Amino acid sequence: MSDFSERLFSPARLGSVTLRNRVIKAATYEGMCPGGIPAPALTRHHVELIRGGVGMTTVAYCAVAPNGRTFAQQMYMREEVITPLRELTAAVHHHNGAVSLQLGHCGYFTKNSEYVGRGPLGPSFGVNEYGITAGMPFAKAMTEDDIAGVIEQFGLAAERTVRAGFDAIELHVGHGYLLSQFLSPAVNRRRDRWGGSLENRARLPLAVLARVRRAVGPGFPLLAKINLRDGFSGGLELEESIEIVRMLEAAGIDAVVMSGGFTAKNPFYLFRGEAPLREMIEVEKNPLQRLVLRMTGSSLIRSYPFEEMYFLEDALEVRKAVKVPLVLLGGLLSIYSLERAMAEGFDFVALGRALIADPDLVNRMQSGEITRSRCTSCNKCVAEMDRNGVRCVL
């Protein structure tokens, strides 16, 4: 075994917690919460990943409040979900694994049919591309009270996350969700203390981090998933995202997961590879949305060529600039990529699709049985999550 694979498969500290190795399952929306309540399938899914060898698994997107959902079926943090989540975290711990929960707020990026109030709300007035066919085509600018309310919602959700037995929280600061909307110069056009300079645009993510830290206490592992780039003209670029990582580091984040893309504008930037349009049309329940996808999908939904470790080059620039633990993500499929990540000084790796395709990938790589996931980046798992729960079609 090389020194780098030894490092990969050795225990590592994340905040006050020790993970048994450096492989994290990235948050991939499971579609296993009918009515927003975690079903036993969600526990089985994460236990399978832990039994397959990952050090820590991540339960995907849980909104901090009802209006933080992108669509109505999504889980949001409330008393009713704590008992099923406690069962999930206990089952993961029984198999000697760790589990994180991704907490987020969608901001204006929503088609939630249960939305209550004057929303969708984001940093500034604009078009809600995602909500057009759901009758929510415009975003309104949040007021000071709205912003204070969201910060508080993150804090309360974090408290409940701890009560549900999670080992860590991942704050969703990327992919064009609320905190990423505030960071994005293209979307945040505010002229008050929440917009304009990078310091102002970063004020909300940092206020959320401070409130969440207060809720969970020192030492509790907090990760932030950020964008290296928004991936469209006028959006956040690497130079500023490096500054954002510096700010998160100074504010006491325990690790930063590096991603990119803005789901409402370039949904496949964050994945690369084929856009599975036919499957997306099949699973779309809204007839109007289905029609729009059929008529305009191929021009609206651009695909981006896949290459292994597609965020590496940008992530290396971040690595040079900060000391905070960094998680390399994006098209990691083979043991060689994982070893390379270690060699380049990243602290953890996160894998999404490779582990959907092969939940026992880590064990099989560690034993030398296989060197590469069978994932072909066909992205059909992205459509599958809306059918009967996320799965690999291979």
Select 136 or 382, whichever has its Cβ closest to ligand FMN. Answer: 382
Q: What angle do CA 207, 125, 284 make, to 5 degrees?
A: 95
**Least distance (Å) between residue 308 CB and ligand FMN:** 9
Site membership for ligand FMN, residue 52 (CB under 6 A): no
**Least distance (Å) between residue 263 CB and ligand FMN:** 9
Task: List CB contacts of 121: < 8 A, sequence separation 6 or more.
Answer: 67, 107, 108, 139, 140, 141, 142, 146
Tokens 């909104």 belong to 63
**Least distance (Å) between residue 190 CB and ligand FMN:** 25
Site membership for ligand FMN, residue 351 (CB under 6 A): yes
Give the residue among 57, 102, 95 at the shortest CA–CA distance from 76.
102
The DSSP secondary-structure symbol of 273 reads B
Tokens 């991540």 belong to 58
Residue 204: CB atoms within 10 Å: 26
The residues with which 321 forms a beta bridge, in sequence order, are none
**Least distance (Å) between residue 134 CB and ligand FMN:** 19
Distance of alpha carbon 154 from the chain centroid = 15
Rounded Cα distance between 217 and 260, Å, is: 29
Select 97 or 273, whichever has its Cβ closest to ligand FMN. Answer: 273
**Least distance (Å) between residue 216 CB and ligand FMN:** 19
> Using CB under 6 A, which of 110, 259, 266, 303 touches ligand FMN?
259
Site membership for ligand FMN, residue 28 (CB under 6 A): yes
> Using CB under 6 A, which of 46, 203, 225, 229 touches ligand FMN?
225
> Using CB under 6 A, which of 19, 26, 103, 264 touches ligand FMN?
26
Site membership for ligand FMN, residue 24 (CB under 6 A): no
Tokens 């059929």 belong to 294
Pairing type for strands 348-351 and 138-141 reads unpaired
**Least distance (Å) between residue 386 CB and ligand FMN:** 9
C-alpha atoms less than 13 angstroms from C-alpha of 148 in its C-beta half-sphere? 3
Three-class SS of 207-238: HHHHHHHHHHCCCCCEEEEEECCCCCCCCCCH
Which tokens is 62 given?
A: 């849980």
Rounded Cα distance between 294 and 255, Å, is: 40
How far CA 246 is from CA of 79, 82, 103, 349, 387, in Å, comes to: 35, 34, 21, 20, 40
Going residue by residue from 102 to 121, which x/- string records binding to ligand FMN, judged by CB under 6 A? x-------------------
Residues annotated as catalytic are 177
Name the closest residue to ligand FMN (Cβ).
352
Select 103 or 134, whichever has its Cβ closest to ligand FMN. Answer: 103
Residues 166-205 that bind ligand FMN (CB under 6 A): 172, 175
Select 141 or 158, whichever has its Cβ closest to ligand FMN. Answer: 158
Site membership for ligand FMN, residue 267 (CB under 6 A): no
Select 52 or 330, whichever has its Cβ closest to ligand FMN. Answer: 330
Site membership for ligand FMN, residue 27 (CB under 6 A): yes
Select 61 or 348, whichever has its Cβ closest to ligand FMN. Answer: 61
Select 69 or 353, whichever has its Cβ closest to ligand FMN. Answer: 353
**Least distance (Å) between residue 136 CB and ligand FMN:** 20
Binding site for ligand FMN (CB under 6 A): 26-29, 60-61, 102, 172, 175, 225, 259, 270-271, 329-332, 351-354, 381-382, 385, 390
